[in-house]
Structure 1
């Protein structure tokens, strides 16, 4: 049996960089809330009043039939003459959803269009997207609890440490070792010796860019995407990537390099710089979730979407979409490549992830993109939930500004 020794005695240099300026605990939530509510205002439905008599405003519901009122994306069955005859006698015919080859009749929520909460959602449809990401965040919070319960007998800390060491061994001695010519320790040591000021910037970037950057992207793309269908593909891809990662976090807890024993040569530079994010602390944060890297998974998905938005590699445009000039093409292309590259540099230099974490995250993004429509199976449940809370799903405003005024975005 070959002895795979991946420990190297590396003397940590003296930490010479100036401590990063630490934001107050309330600052990051305020930043995220400002982005979200700013997007809610920017994507509001114009010429729609929440309060007033029914005759005092023009409802966007009026131009959509019962099946269409829920979503432009969701398939429904309206081709059968017999079905149309059956539902035509009802003022609010059921929504006929297709799920696993079956047609399911779901309650029609358009009867609740004039309820106060329906009007609020119609005025600010981005609130619906905010709800989706709250659900994502709740599921993430639960991964630490689920993983600890699963590995209660063997000890999750020991299991996660073994997995982290196994990742290092696979990168250096496995059959895919050719993909990792530079090791994480070498990457961090380059910054530690003579480039600590740059590392201080990366420490702060690791703490502050991930959540605000992702939230900002969702808000921005909801506003500028040429159609809601295009936006929804990106959102569903990111959501499915999330759930793939959450399952991995539970069944394969993995210790990040910064938490490995000292003989592996890594330093927790973010803590040394006192640059922790408020989102990265707390009882339910899963510190043993290095595999895969959602920092990189998000950034890669964002980067690919921005490159698509640039139009550089597209010969045809969507309906109403304007061809961008060369400056904006190159700007979006550089941003789409540069952002995930910067995040990859950050997560490895700060010893929060392995290169393989980024590779697995990339694979999850591709799989999620190809399978993103799997979320359609939850549409009947959404119909039922909306019926229970007596609300009509808002009609998205994505693309309205673009189509109505022909703006170049």
Structure 2
């Protein structure tokens, strides 16, 4: 009897896996993948070392790619002539008049030269720092807008080389940096060999300044700050035309790139930056101590029975 019992044990085969268990495992893996994707698409807390490195490397790559694009001088000059003809047809070809009028006021045009050379970077970095410090939940989405805007601009530089008005043949525009011997545009004077001079379309002075202005207008609480936010891209538009660095239509190109940037950010985060929460939310699905109601916030380092701290 004992022998038959042993044989029956040896003759047993492993029981087939339960289909319910398999489906549960597949569902768990699927949920884990979805959770990871949601985590990537949810604004996280920005880290200062990562952001500084990312911005520095990104701008270096942008400058490298932009300046590596073949200058194509003949094509750039021909495109400038065509664009100038289009603006004449539209009745908006007043850049030359603005350029000469502003150049007649020395202190004003010199100020514009320095404005063009410096604020493009100072204000943009300042707004990024402000977002990082006071709007961390919106920082990543706003930064993605800026990066996507700048990235698509590189296509414009490659596909449509364009000479600025000051380099047009017979355009009679004044290169205000050269005339007034001011430290200014990277595309004039001693810096002209460090930058692609035929990358005027689209204007990233407009793309970046409009990003700064709209961001400040949407998020700032002080009325004066919101007004300055709107004035900044408007003044920048006057400056790029007065210094003969861009046509009006270059500004339109910069606006189109910014629109693309907002579309990319919206597609990834599901909302425009100013519609996201100001602060970074706690991860979903976090375990809640027993006895704590759903509406009570969790505070690390405090027992679950501790009464909420009033602020």
Taking structure 1 as the reference length, what is the TM-score of the superposition?
Answer: 0.53
Look up the match of 1:16.
none
For each residue in 1:53-83, what CA deviation from the matched residue of structure 2 results, as whole angstroms up to 9, or x when unmatched? Answer: xxxxxxxxxxxxxxxxxxxxxxxxxxx9525
Look up the match of 2:178.
271
Look up the match of 2:25.
82
Q: Secondary structure at the match of 1:371?
A: helix
2:50 corresponds to 1:128: yes
Look up the match of 1:346.
239
Compared CA separation, residues 279 and 171, structure 1 to 2 (3 A): closer
Whether the 8 Å contact between 2:186 and 2:194 is mirrored in structure 1 is no
Whether the 8 Å contact between 1:254 and 1:290 is mirrored in structure 2 is yes
Q: CA RMSD in A?
A: 3.1
Structure 2: give runs of 5+ residues left out of the alignment.
1-22, 39-44, 270-277, 281-298, 300-311
- Bigger CA radius of gyration: 2
Compared CA separation, residues 166 and 282, structure 1 to 2 (3 A): closer
2:75 corresponds to 1:163: no
Separation of aligned partners in 1, 2:175 and 2:24:
66
Structure 1: give runs of 5+ residues left out of the alignment.
1-79, 88-92, 100-121, 149-155, 311-323, 377-397, 405-409
Look up the match of 1:41.
none
For each residue in 1:156-200, what CA deviation from the matched residue of structure 2 results, as whole angstroms up to 9, or x when unmatched? Answer: 111111111111111111xxx15x2x611011111123x221111
2:155 corresponds to 1:232: no
Whether the 8 Å contact between 2:123 and 2:212 is mirrored in structure 1 is no
What is the deviation of 1:84? 7.5
What is the deviation of 1:245? 0.5
2:105 corresponds to 1:189: no
What is the deviation of 1:128? 1.5
Taking structure 2 as the reference length, what is the TM-score of the superposition?
Answer: 0.69
Compared CA separation, residues 86 and 170, structure 1 to 2 (3 A): closer
- The structure in which a higher percent of residues are helix is 2
Compared CA separation, residues 162 and 373, structure 1 to 2 (3 A): same
